[in-house]
Amino acid sequence: MPPIDAAPLVPPGLVSLGGGRWHFSVWAPAVERAWLHVLAPDRLVALERGPDGVHRAAIADLPAGARYRIRLAGADAELPDPASRHQPDGVDGPSSAFDPAATWSDAGFRAPPIEELVIYEAHIGTFTPRGTFDAAIERLDRLVDLGVNALEIMPVAEFPGGRNWGYDGVFPWAVQSTYGGPSGLARLVDACHARGLAVLLDVVYNHLGPEGACLARFGPYFSARHVTDWGAAFNFDGPHSDEVRRYFIESARYFARDLHVDGFRLDAIHAIVDTSALPFLAELTASLRELGRELGRPLAVIAECDRNDARVVAPWQRGGLGADAQWSDDFHHALHSVLTGERSGYYADFGELGHLARAIADGWVYAGEYSRVRSRRHGNSAATEPGRAFVVCTQNHDQVGNRARGDRLSETLSPAEQRLAAAVLLTMPYVPLLFMGQEVGERAPFQYFTSHRDPDLAEAVRRGRRAEFAAFGWRAEDIPDPQDAATFERSRLSPGSPDREGAALFELHRELLRLRRARPALARLDRERTAVTCPDEDLLLVQRWSEPGPAGGGDRALLVASFAREPREVALPRGRWRLAIDTDDPRWRGEPRGESGDDIGPRVRVAPRSALLLVAPGPQDP
């Protein structure tokens, strides 16, 4: 663990001490005097400046929900609290005193270990017709029935307006008011825990949104030396960076400690520029790990990084950042390109079944090989990292929403191909992630939407989206206007029950997840007990086993995936096999095959664009 100084007893912002007593602090090192202005009844509280540039005060008789602003000497206007927990009137309104003391019912809940997670990613605003935390609670029983055990929520830091993916948040501590604020999030977390679902929160520590931010008015939160694709980078390695780091680390600790979330997905950590000997991300992961020990429950840290860098999940002692897992985009790109035939943009580096085989065997495809898209070598080896260190998917918010029309795989793939993709995803030795709706073949797009108030900014976003998609050959006129409310409305999940195809796809996902839990060969994410072969350019065989070996004695599972467009005969590895799942079975609205039961082989027929999951009969079978 990195040598972290003891965290201050009281985090920044307005912190309840109980009984109407509060502690307030704000870092403003260039300001000599500051006040907290309670708006009703009108009250001005002078803050005491410390040598560290932090202004503090103890405040009595302040009710929860009281509105307030901060007044800085020499400033032309009062400002919201940069560590505000609640902005009930939006990014420009006053902050609100939030007391996280709630009636929790989750005292006995512990999130599953990361190797057991099945993650379901959702955007609160489009997950339900009402687009709130409370409305999301109504969908949780369906997720439990499906077999997922973790809900990953796209960012909820307060952003301007009511329509946004969440990556334009400007108050990292505040919870989006139009979703239900921090109390709404607490109710959702408690409801998830009551059903055995962990909650992972997507957080953005690489930039702030372009509208409504006030951090720069308080101190040197931004770097004078580094920039990102979205603007100024945070100051994680320059003068005064200790307080900047503390601001974000304490924010994560607040969500884990006070709102009971079980872990975090860190957005685009490759955009965090930090040249210090002790990286901010290593300090963050170590602090969360220590907090997890204090709380008596694990806190997961999952990073998004496009560098194929195994150091993200390596321990700090080995020069790593210490994250528990990271997204493997290569798995998605390899499978997507094989299924769809797309070769533009970053898909130009993929397209062969061998790429998918390597992603399954090694965690990603590029581990130092030359990338045509990047015109350089890309990645390093992840050979020493366990399977639980990689999160894989066939769809997520980026890979759907960053297409010109936000079209899902259901718009491109046949039902048979969607079933094939599900079988590949859910039988791999990695942590699987489903994007909301894919389990029923959702047809509504997930498009990029915003509600910026500045017309010049809105136009700049439109131009930026068109330029970003030029490499894919997508036409500018096909790209929806992010500012149009209709873009947001189109992106909501379809109301009501799924059609027959969707219901069958749901049942297939449920059965795959049941088998994933029940079979030791599938449940244990052992890459060293996984063998991947491609008999030809259209066939993929993935054999997995538990101790003692692949030839027998333990549990065995075999995925036979055919990407061919005609039936194929496949020779099976030696041993007894029983058919567990045929994705072309009539149960999933496929075609009858007339083959079932034990003792399948030594050859088996596979329908076009389909998969068989075979298992070795054993004690766990009925």
DSSP string, 572-605: PPSS--EEEEETTSGGGT-------SS---SEEE
Q: State pLDDT tens for residues 562-606.
A: 999 999 999 999 888 999 999 999 999 887 665 555 668 799 999
Distance from C-alpha of 595 to C-alpha of 607, rounded to nearest angstrom:
12
When pLDDT is averaged across residues 421-431 and rounded to a whole number, the result is: 98
Torsion angle in degrees (nearest 10) through CA of 70, 71, 72, 77: 110
442's CB contacts (< 8 A; 6+ apart) are: 408, 410, 436, 493, 494, 502
**Over 80: is that where the pLDDT of 244 sits?**
yes
Q: In this predicted structure, which of 191-200, 288-297, 601-610 has the lowest mean pLDDT?
A: 601-610
Q: What is the pLDDT of residue 4?
A: 44
Report whether 313 contacts 385 (CB < 8 A).
yes
Task: Answer positive or negative: Cα dihedral of 24, 28, 34, 37.
Answer: negative
Asked if 43 contacts 56 with a C-beta cutoff of 8 angstroms, the reply is no
* Beta-strand pair 150-153/54-59: unpaired
pLDDT bucket at 3, cuts 50 / 70 / 90: very low
Q: Is residue 328 one of the residues assigned to a domain?
A: no
pLDDT of the residue at 595: 53
How many domains does one find in the chain? 2
Please say if the pLDDT value at position 417 is more than 60: yes
358 or 103: which leads in pLDDT: 358
- Does residue 85 surpass a pLDDT of 90? yes
Dihedral sign, CA of 516, 517, 519, 521?
Answer: positive
Provide the pLDDT for residue 561.
Answer: 98
pLDDT band at 547; cut points 50, 70, 90: confident
Domain boundary among 69, 96, 123: 96
What pLDDT does 101 receive? Answer: 85
The residue among 429 and 103 whose pLDDT is bigger is 429
C-beta atoms surrounding 445 within 10 Å: 18
- Is 408 among the domain residues? no
Name the more confident of 157 and 230. 157
Per the domain annotation, does 493 fall within a domain?
Answer: no
Look at residue 422 and tell me whether its pLDDT is greater than 60: yes
User: Would 346 be classed as within a structural domain?
Assistant: no
Residue 339: its pLDDT value, please? 98
User: Residue 6: is its pLDDT beyond 70?
Assistant: no
Of all helices (H) and strands (E), which one includes residue 67? strand 67-72
Amino acid at 351: G
Q: Specify the DSSP class assigned to residue 79.
A: B
Q: Choose between 473 and 154: higher pLDDT.
A: 154
Find all residues with CB under 8 Å of 345, minimum gap 6, and list them. 373, 471, 472
Q: Where do we find the tokens 């057991």?
A: 116
The burial class, CB within 10 Å (0-12 / 13-18 / 19+), for 28 is buried
Residue that is last in its domain, among 96, 130, 157: 96
Q: Which residue has the higher pLDDT, 95 or 232?
A: 95
Domain end, chosen from 45, 76, 96, is at: 96
Confidence of residue 7 (pLDDT cuts 50, 70, 90): very low
- Tokens at residue 66, please? 């009281």
Q: Does a structural domain hold residue 560?
A: yes
Which residues have C-beta within 8 Å of that of residue 349, sequence separation ≥ 6? 333, 365, 366, 371, 372, 373
* pLDDT tens readout for residues 351-396: 999 999 999 999 999 999 999 999 999 999 999 999 999 999 999 9
- What is the residue range of 78's domain? 13-96
- CATH number of domain containing 35: 2.60.40.10
pLDDT tens digit string along 451-462? 999 999 989 888
For residues 541 and 606, the answer to whether their CB atoms sit within 8 Å is no
326 found inside a domain? no
CATH of the domain at 541: 2.60.40.1180
Residues catalogued as catalytic: 267, 304
Q: For residue 435, what are its two tokens?
A: 């994007």
Per residue in 133-171, pLDDT (tens digit) is 999 999 999 999 999 999 999 999 999 999 999 999 999
- Whether 423 shows a pLDDT value over 90: the answer reads yes
Q: 223: closest CA among 275, 166, 269, 174?
A: 275
Q: Is residue 67 part of a domain?
A: yes
When pLDDT is averaged across residues 526-551 and rounded to a whole number, the result is 89
pLDDT at position 234 over 60: yes
**305, 344 Cβ separation under 8 angstroms:** no
Beta strand extents in 19-59 (DSSP E only): 21-27, 34-39, 42-46, 48-49, 54-59
Question: Percent of the chain beyond pLDDT 70?
Answer: 96
In 216-338, DSSP assigns E strands to 222-228, 231-234, 263-266, 300-303, 325-327
Report the alpha-carbon distance of residue 197 to residue 475 in Å, rounded.
41
Q: What is the pLDDT of residue 224?
A: 86
In a domain, 568, yes or no: yes
Show the tokens assigned to 6. 């003891």
